[in-house]
Structure 1
């Protein structure tokens, strides 16, 4: 019989935050994966994403401090509502053609997303023990990307018989409802001070002092040699989304097939994250060996899929244009029922999901291997998401400014190559156990009451 984890156990909390992300960020990913938020003209969607990631850069970096000061529950609740507002803005766009509200909602979503992902990252990589971090990351990734699968099914099913190239209001309404539920689920998370591992140890070891101290710690991140070494990895980790969603998915597939593709894209992420966890948590190898093997796998796999993409990209230069001009992909837009034309491109798009999961899970594992201090990890996770968003800001503007598809592909490939070298260096320097200061100070802190934080005594 399946035994459910204790409510106050780390696993229960990771699963809960996974379902929050299932209902909020995963729905956003599914919507974004349609290309331009499901619109024929991707300009508004691209500009909204630019606004989103501009604010995400700032609040991703500040997110760890905000979570440390305010706790996880209400910050996640408020952040979740920004996802619902963003999805709802497309209903207004459908009826007015005015993209200002959607772009503004994108900017507000960047604030919420930065805070939410800092809280999520802290929970996911600081709650488990060192030897099980990859397993917890994989569990989260599976639950989270199950939301992407559901988010792919919705537009696929609702638009199955549609002959338009834009999503209907019903799809956006469904996203809004799910995202509101996700925000409410954030209130079900336990205060970190109450979460205990099965051996009785608390997941909270240290306490912030005040807002001034948090500001100083955030500034120190930009002088931290480990964080500086990870800058290329952080910058590249979401850069490829705009190319995969727009120049590929939205440019050569019809509307229902885009949703169909996303089912496999996010499903592949679930399987890949689970498979990688067996390597990254393997007790028979040193942490350094595991890291080096994982970086090698990422390097080989990504170069292979970008090579396949190069062959595909040589066939076309643009997707459907707002002027009504169709894509110049041979034979026009692909429908999934046309198996001879669809099989190769759909398999390639599915492999994009594999590559994304491998890269992101390895990145989180490396960050989680640097320390076991949950306060530091909340800042590290925020730094990762902030710099990641800076890369995404640049990427979405490349598509918004109509940079050629081939140049976007080359940019992605070059950036990947650059990011692999510092990842390799960080993996080579990993120790089997993190160096933490918390061991000497643990007895100085005590969890009290229902507070989200830990009060110093």
Structure 2
């Protein structure tokens, strides 16, 4: 069955429909957030407030990322996603206040609140994306989600590009932030359209929910076990590094050498390239002619080579400048000043390089989710694994955003990213090498708390 054929004839209660729905939730919520972050400093000329808000965000994300799986298991996916989506709208609206007052306290507080919502939302999203499909379809389902999700980043790049096309300001206008708020509210409401997991049935008639009992005590114990799980411990470097590079890509690259409209233009390609990378990798990850271990090793080799080539090119670019626009009005020291996309000779190379970073992000993240999804088919375990992944990922992001906030040199940020990514490859190889062709199956079939409640709702 072809890639697009998966969409045809899918009923509301099919796994594909649910993955598409959660994809559109993330298209409108995290997708818009990514677009805003991709502008560098949330679209502000002074990145300090945006960097501090991201630090606050990822500090709370660390905690609620790890706890997110338990919260989803206890409370269900629909209302947790709805409430989490609203925290994205609150964060975007805080920049309107910042535009008019110059006071970053509200934005930083909104970032901390968003970290709570994001931790829960991504745990729910991860559970749906990697536990609903059959084993041989997980690569495709991850790609379908990633394509829809990153359409949000593309749209979020188009909005500031179009609205600020004739602007001479270095910060985004209120209109852009208002558009983000409206779209994020729609995304939150879309979370209520998700079906209760107990009603979702695969094409072969099997239920996606087999493990059906949980409680606060059970979830607390299971979360503690994550930190003693050999596979999770081996994946710690992968989790830590998986969002570390965003602060460097969005700030020292996109936010430092391009003007405001070109930053939005660049993000159209950055997030669009992610769709291509995810789609291409899915064919390898679901190739049933090879063992799961072989697929994983080849995918890891591709990711390793790609990252080293792209970061090597980035090193060459970084040697040309040391800083971006400064609050005192000083412009970047990049040769010739800020780049506009219409300056084709100056713009082509840096824009292509930034786009390739988007491809690399998709390859790394899709492989990470596929590896996690290959460890088990148990939906409740996968919600905890996804939460663990996002929690440790947020720990890395917290460090990364503070490096930029504390004005660590761009070259040192680049070296730190490159080293972390290289280190993460070795334990990832160990986990991939131990993968079996069939994941463990859940065995507990006792009745549940939240699934029953969601079904009644």
Class of the TM-score when normalised by the shorter of the 2 chains: over 0.9
Contact 1:68–1:453 (CA under 8 A) maintained in structure 2: no
Partner residue in 2 for 1:278: 283
For the pair 1:198 / 2:239, whether they are aligned, the reply is no
Cα separation, 1, equivalents of 2:65 and 2:51: 20
List alignment gaps of at least 5 residues for structure 1.
Answer: none
Partner residue in 1 for 2:319: 314
Label 1:131 to 1:91 Cα distance change in 2 as closer, same or farther (>3 A).
same
Cα separation, 1, equivalents of 2:311 and 2:448: 51
Cα offset, 1:207, TM superposition: 2.0
After superposition, residues 403-414 of structure 1 pair within 5 angstroms as 403-414=408-419
* Cα RMSD for the two superposed structures: 1.4
Q: 1:185 aligns with which of 185, 190, 193?
A: 190
For the pair 1:83 / 2:88, whether they are aligned, the reply is yes
Q: 1:423 aligns with which of 415, 420, 428?
A: 428
Cα offset, 1:209, TM superposition: 2.7
For the pair 1:398 / 2:403, whether they are aligned, the reply is yes
TM-score with structure 2 setting the length = 0.97
Partner SS for 1:451: helix
For the pair 1:114 / 2:116, whether they are aligned, the reply is no
The count of aligned residue pairs is 451
Cα separation, 1, equivalents of 2:299 and 2:453: 39
Cα separation, 2, equivalents of 1:87 and 1:453: 33
For the pair 1:208 / 2:205, whether they are aligned, the reply is no
Partner residue in 2 for 1:7: 12
- Structure 1 stretch displaced more, 364-373 or 445-454: 445-454
Partner residue in 1 for 2:371: 366
Cα offset, 1:199, TM superposition: 1.3
Cα separation, 2, equivalents of 1:245 and 1:182: 24
Cα separation, 1, equivalents of 2:72 and 2:231: 22
Which digits, 9 at most, give the CA deviation of each residue in 1:28-48, with x for residues without a partner?
000000000000000000000
For the pair 1:101 / 2:101, whether they are aligned, the reply is no
Cα separation, 1, equivalents of 2:449 and 2:399: 42
For the pair 1:150 / 2:152, whether they are aligned, the reply is no
List alignment gaps of at least 5 residues for structure 2.
Answer: none
For the pair 1:169 / 2:174, whether they are aligned, the reply is yes
Cα separation, 2, equivalents of 1:161 and 1:355: 32
Label 1:447 to 1:55 Cα distance change in 2 as closer, same or farther (>3 A).
closer
Cα separation, 2, equivalents of 1:427 and 1:293: 10
After superposition, residues 59-78 of structure 1 pair within 5 angstroms as 59-78=64-83
For the pair 1:452 / 2:454, whether they are aligned, the reply is yes
Cα separation, 2, equivalents of 1:453 and 1:369: 28
Contact 2:197–2:451 (CA under 8 A) maintained in structure 1: no
Contact 2:73–2:214 (CA under 8 A) maintained in structure 1: no
Contact 2:257–2:338 (CA under 8 A) maintained in structure 1: yes
After superposition, residues 427-438 of structure 1 pair within 5 angstroms as 427-436=432-441, 438=442
After superposition, residues 232-271 of structure 1 pair within 5 angstroms as 232-271=237-276
Cα separation, 1, equivalents of 2:444 and 2:54: 43
Cα separation, 1, equivalents of 2:328 and 2:9: 55
TM-score with structure 1 setting the length = 0.97
Cα offset, 1:450, TM superposition: 6.1
Cα separation, 2, equivalents of 1:334 and 1:300: 29
Cα offset, 1:448, TM superposition: 10
Cα separation, 2, equivalents of 1:450 and 1:148: 35
Partner SS for 1:202: coil
Partner residue in 2 for 1:296: 301
Partner SS for 2:367: helix
Contact 1:65–1:214 (CA under 8 A) maintained in structure 2: yes
Cα separation, 1, equivalents of 2:9 and 2:268: 27
Moved over 4 A (4+): 444-450
Which digits, 9 at most, give the CA deviation of each residue in 1:211-242, with x for residues without a partner?
01100100000000000000000000000000
Q: 1:328 aligns with which of 333, 352, 357?
A: 333
Which digits, 9 at most, give the CA deviation of each residue in 1:96-122, with x for residues without a partner?
000000000000000000000000000
Which digits, 9 at most, give the CA deviation of each residue in 1:235-280, with x for residues without a partner?
0000000000000000000000000000000000001100000000
Partner residue in 1 for 2:388: 383
Partner SS for 2:453: coil
